[in-house]
Amino acid sequence: MEKTSVLDERKDFILYKQDGCNGNGMKCDANSVSGSVSQRACVYCGARVVLNPITDAFHIVHGPIGCASYTWDIRGSLSSGEDLYRNSFSTDLREQDIIFGGEKKLTAAIEEIAEKYHPKLIFVYATCIVGVIGDDVEAVCKMMSNKYNMSVIPVKSPGFSGNKSVGYKMACNAIMDLISKQKPAEKKGVNILGDFNLAGEMWIIKDYLKKIGIPVVAAFTGDSCYESLMKSPNAELNIVQCAGSSTYLANRMEEEMGIPYIKVSFFGIEDTTSSLIRIAEALKDEEARRKAIQFTETETKKLEDFLSKYRRNLEGKKAAIYVGGGFKAISLIRQFKSLGLETVVVGTQTGKKDDYEVIESLVNKDTVILDDTNPAELEKFMKEKGADILVGGVKERPLAYKLGIAFCDHNHERKHPLCGFDGVINFTKEINMSINNPVWKYLQEVL
Ligand code: SF4
């Protein structure tokens, strides 16, 4: 088959799966190639999506008003309490501030929030222009923390300082700045890292852990609050769902607090089952392990008839996947396989070498694997491979519709949970409704 032409500098980021795994791997975890329209957001946005779900935190965007357009809407995480996090605050830097510096404006913004709302926690994001003019954001935050006896944490996130993964790292550093001052008490239970309570998914995971008798100390960061985060050093184990955003935090917590971690995924029956059992095993809790096996067997059995009914509609269809991190791509490949779909194109924005090795081991020969792709490549590979559906986020949706193929939103904007056993039902129904919608047939006739 004729290979699609791509920019020379991009070729190392693309792999056609060969027989077995060729072991050469592919390039990933690097800055985007100039001239290639990356689907990644900037460093600041990466930091913001990780920290925004902390429900009682104030988020001050130190920069021009445009940066502040990344708000709660970019990650619709739900809250069981406070809704402060749905507000955005900006220092709205203008030309004069760029010339004379923005520190006074930042100080005034923090003072206004401190005096009006008496917060416990403020994050101050340093954006591109702040990195250029050199405001000492750290010094201002320190001064304000002392003056008001609250935590004002700087997040070093100028957009030009790297890629979205750097933003994740900066958010993890900000969290460590906050929690590392805590002295741990007796260790018990787990912290959940890398789940953002989209459509209430954190509540589903917590409910499963409760059913098997494992207490949750803190969640990073879905439906979390200042008080719960400060208890996180007391956990026995960290479980990491979104590895792309939170492995760095897990590593720091292991090194500095002695909390080990395991990577998990709650997408699909196979990964949900193995994650619950592995958590119990990592805690050496035999009773929890027994309950996890029993619970997952019961839930899997309940889904058998449902899945076999839908499998008849989906067998033989081809899927393309383009998501943020490797863990989700891996779970989606497994989920599609269980529904009878073949993954023919798969890529991520921030996948790491070990993620791509697992992806390569799961897909069939000739599957296209992409790191940090652009819309043109995605379009060409989906056409070449005859994909029937694309799973991605808001930036990929128009591309699928333009090509006249089905789409499933598996990103921050979705309104129904896709994780756990409950999520399997939603996911299967959505894939079926989208892929078997008669509209695609009519569209193909006019395209
Ligand atoms: S790239 Fe820079 S200017 Fe643009 S949103 Fe990100 S921080 Fe703001």
Which atom of ligand 1 is nearest to 42's Cα?
6
Last residue of a domain, one of 245, 263, 293: 293
Q: Is the pLDDT score of 117 beyond 50?
A: yes
Residue environment code for 421-432, b if the CB has 16+ CB neighbours within 10 A, otherwise e = bbbbbbbbebbb
Structural domain includes residue 442: no
How far does the centroid of ligand 1 lie from the alpha carbon of residue 157, in Å?
9
Whether residues 100 and 172 fall in one domain: yes
Q: Is the pLDDT score of 380 beyond 50?
A: yes
Structural domain includes residue 223: yes
Task: Work out the pLDDT band at 70, boundaries 50, 70, 90.
Answer: confident
Please report the pLDDT score of residue 23 as a whole number.
53
With a 6 Å cutoff on the Cβ, whether 44 touches ligand 1 is: yes
Last residue of a domain, one of 122, 156, 179: 179
The arithmetic mean of pLDDT across residues 283-289, rounded, is: 98
Task: Work out the pLDDT band at 406, boundaries 50, 70, 90.
Answer: very high
How far does the centroid of ligand 1 lie from the alpha carbon of residue 93, in Å?
13
Structural domain includes residue 430: no
Structural domain includes residue 236: yes
**C-alpha closest to that of 199 among 267, 264, 262:** 267
Whether residues 47 and 141 fall in one domain: yes
Task: Give the closest residue (by CA) to ligand 1 atom 3.
Answer: 128
Last residue of a domain, one of 245, 262, 293: 293
Task: Give the closest residue (by CA) to ligand 1 atom 5.
Answer: 67
Cα separation, 48 vs 197, in Å, equals 15
With a 6 Å cutoff on the Cβ, whether 68 touches ligand 1 is: no
Among 127, 160, 161, 166, name the best residue to mutate to test ligand 1's pocket (greatest count of ligand atoms within 8 A of Cβ). Answer: 127
Whether residues 55 and 171 fall in one domain: yes
Whether residues 160 and 69 fall in one domain: yes
Whether residues 116 and 244 fall in one domain: no
Please report the pLDDT score of residue 71 as a whole number.
79
Higher pLDDT, 288 or 32: 288
Whether residues 248 and 277 fall in one domain: yes
pLDDT (tens digit per residue) in 293-322: 999 999 999 999 999 999 999 999 999 999
Whether residues 74 and 142 fall in one domain: yes
Separation of first and last alpha carbons in the chain: 23
Structural domain includes residue 109: yes
C-alpha dihedral sign at 131, 136, 139, 143 = negative
The arithmetic mean of pLDDT across residues 182-203, rounded, is: 92
Cβ-based neighbours of 179, under 8 Å, separated by 6 or more: 229, 230, 232, 233
Please report the pLDDT score of residue 1 as a whole number.
45
Task: Work out the pLDDT band at 76, boundaries 50, 70, 90.
Answer: confident
Please report the pLDDT score of residue 72 as a whole number.
78
CATH at 110: 3.40.50.1980
Q: Is 121 left (phi over 0), alpha (psi -120 to 50) or beta?
A: beta
Structural domain includes residue 151: yes
Which atom of ligand 1 is nearest to 158's Cα?
7
**pTM (predicted TM-score):** 0.92
Structural domain includes residue 166: yes
pLDDT (tens digit per residue) in 89-105: 999 999 999 999 999 99
Whether residues 90 and 217 fall in one domain: no
How far does the centroid of ligand 1 lie from the alpha carbon of residue 92, in Å?
13
* Beta-carbon count within 10 A of 80 CB: 11
Whether residues 268 and 214 fall in one domain: yes
Q: Domain range for residue 348?
A: 8-36+315-414
How far does the centroid of ligand 1 lie from the alpha carbon of residue 199, in Å?
27
Task: Work out the pLDDT band at 342, boundaries 50, 70, 90.
Answer: very high
Structural domain includes residue 306: no
**C-alpha closest to that of 391 among 381, 406, 403, 375:** 406
Cα separation, 262 vs 268, in Å, equals 18
Please tell me whether residue 90 adopts helix, strand or coil conformation: strand
How far does the centroid of ligand 1 lie from the alpha carbon of residue 45, in Å?
8
How far does the centroid of ligand 1 lie from the alpha carbon of residue 7, in Å?
26
Whether residues 67 and 110 fall in one domain: yes
Which atom of ligand 1 is nearest to 157's Cα?
7
Task: Work out the pLDDT band at 60, boundaries 50, 70, 90.
Answer: very high
% the chain with pLDDT above 70: 98
pLDDT (tens digit per residue) in 2-56: 455 789 999 999 999 987 665 567 899 898 998 888 888 899 999 999 999 999 9
Whether residues 334 and 357 fall in one domain: yes
Whether residues 14 and 49 fall in one domain: no
Q: Please state the domain count of the chain.
A: 3
